């Protein structure tokens, strides 16, 4: 009758045991290893002995004159150093995250803001937050809302209110401007009423852009019917206007850039109160970086103050 073979299950070593053994393996001397760790030699020797007991193996040959690391001990020392290095990396990562404006930040921006505000945002991040690893994602509103809900994105820059249970941080209000061909009867005026849209063929962005929805709301407000032509972006819209297919609405921050791409376009302002939109940041209410986002918003307000916008102070 054969005897049942029993196996011994090694217990998980403690960090203190690994640190003690790694020091002995490095110094090959208990006294020097203990001094390096700023602990007593008996405590160090006890930690190494406890590690050997936990693993059920001999790691160190103790002689009166020197310390010899066993072949298995040499291999265990490699793993011990790797574990301790990973632990140090973990604690450093956590510690650095406690400092504001460090580490990665995934910022989502809608297409009707990105080309006009991103130069300011990127310059702000570079000059004031050099340790911030900023990643920019240009997507339509519904994609941004999905991204922040799933954690793929951290912070959004978009038209407010963002909805979806997010926390809004208003930055500024900007007017909508009517862009027309240069020979249009409204060209260059600054006080046209909203109901002029009744007699105009207003070109819009394609579905999925929040600016399209805002323009549609304005048209419905005065009973106007927008034109059937659709465009994927604002640059295409102004080219269509330049080609004589109608007029369009641009946010004030986009006017200088977009009208400069098509010679002869004219910007027309609405009479007070002008239609427009509110732009700001949005984030999850559970975010641990709320205070950081508030500070970033304040810096951004200062940075965009020279643009044709009305800053919103908290």
226 φ, ψ (degrees, to nearest 5)? -70, 160
Domains of the chain: 15-97 (1.10.10.10), 103-314 (3.40.190.290)
- Judged against a pLDDT cut of 50, whether residue 2 lies above it is answered with no
Neighbouring CB atoms inside 10 A of 81's CB total 16
pLDDT at res. 8: 57
For tokens 């994927």, name the residue. 232
pLDDT at res. 194: 87
- Judged against a pLDDT cut of 70, whether residue 92 lies above it is answered with no
| Range scoring the smallest mean pLDDT among 3-17, 114-128, 216-230 | 3-17
- Per-residue confidence band for 119, with pLDDT thresholds at 50, 70 and 90: very high
204 φ, ψ (degrees, to nearest 5)? -125, 165
Most confidently modeled of 77-91, 226-240, 287-301?
287-301
> pLDDT higher for 307 or 97?
307
- Judged against a pLDDT cut of 50, whether residue 46 lies above it is answered with yes
Q: Name the β-bridge partners of 105.
A: 134
- Quick check: helix, strand or coil at residue 172? strand
| Range scoring the smallest mean pLDDT among 50-59, 120-129, 215-224, 282-291 | 215-224
- Judged against a pLDDT cut of 50, whether residue 74 lies above it is answered with yes
pLDDT at res. 96: 58
Q: What is the pTM of this model?
A: 0.70
Residue 115 in contact with residue 211, Cβ under 8 Å?
A: no
**Do you find a cis peptide bond into 273, omega within 30 degrees of 0?**
yes
Burial of 99 (0-12, 13-18, 19+ CB in 10 A): exposed
pLDDT at res. 27: 86
Output the DSSP codes for 179-203: EE-TTSTTTT-S-B-GGGGGGS-EE
């Amino acid at each position: 009758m054969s005897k049942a073979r029993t196996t011994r299950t090694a217990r998980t070593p403690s960090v203190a045991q690994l640190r003690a053994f790694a020091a002995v393996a490095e110094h090959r001397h208990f006294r020097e290893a203990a001094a390096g760790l700023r602990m007593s030699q008996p405590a160090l020797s006890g930690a190494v002995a406890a590690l050997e007991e936990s693993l059920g193996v001999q790691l160190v040959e103790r002689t009166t004159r020197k310390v010899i690391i066993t072949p298995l001990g040499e291999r265990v020392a490699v793993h011990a150093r790797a574990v301790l290095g990973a632990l140090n990396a973990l604690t450093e990562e956590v510690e650095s995250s406690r400092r504001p404006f460090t580490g990665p930040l995934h910022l989502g921006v809608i297409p009707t803001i990105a080309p006009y505000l991103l130069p300011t945002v990127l310059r702000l991040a570079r000059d004031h937050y050099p340790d911030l690893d900023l990643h920019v994602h240009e997507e339509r509103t519904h994609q941004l809302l999905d991204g922040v809900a799933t954690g793929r994105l951290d912070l959004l820059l978009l038209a407010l209110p963002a909805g979806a249970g997010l926390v809004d941080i208003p930055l500024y209000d900007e007017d909508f401007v009517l862009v027309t061909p240069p020979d249009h009867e409204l060209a260059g005026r600054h006080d046209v009423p909203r109901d002029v849209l009744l007699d105009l063929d207003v070109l819009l962005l394609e579905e999925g852009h929040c600016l399209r929805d805002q323009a549609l709301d304005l048209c419905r407000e005065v009973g106007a019917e927008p034109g059937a032509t659709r465009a994927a972006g604002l640059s295409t819209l102004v080219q269509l206007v330049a080609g004589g297919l109608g007029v369009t609405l641009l946010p004030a921050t986009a006017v200088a850039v977009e009208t400069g791409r098509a010679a002869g376009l004219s910007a027309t302002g609405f009479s007070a109160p002008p239609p427009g939109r509110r732009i700001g940041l949005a984030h999850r209410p559970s975010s641990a970086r709320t205070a950081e986002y508030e500070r970033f918003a304040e810096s951004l307000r200062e940075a965009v103050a020279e643009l044709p916008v009305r800053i919103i102070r908290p």
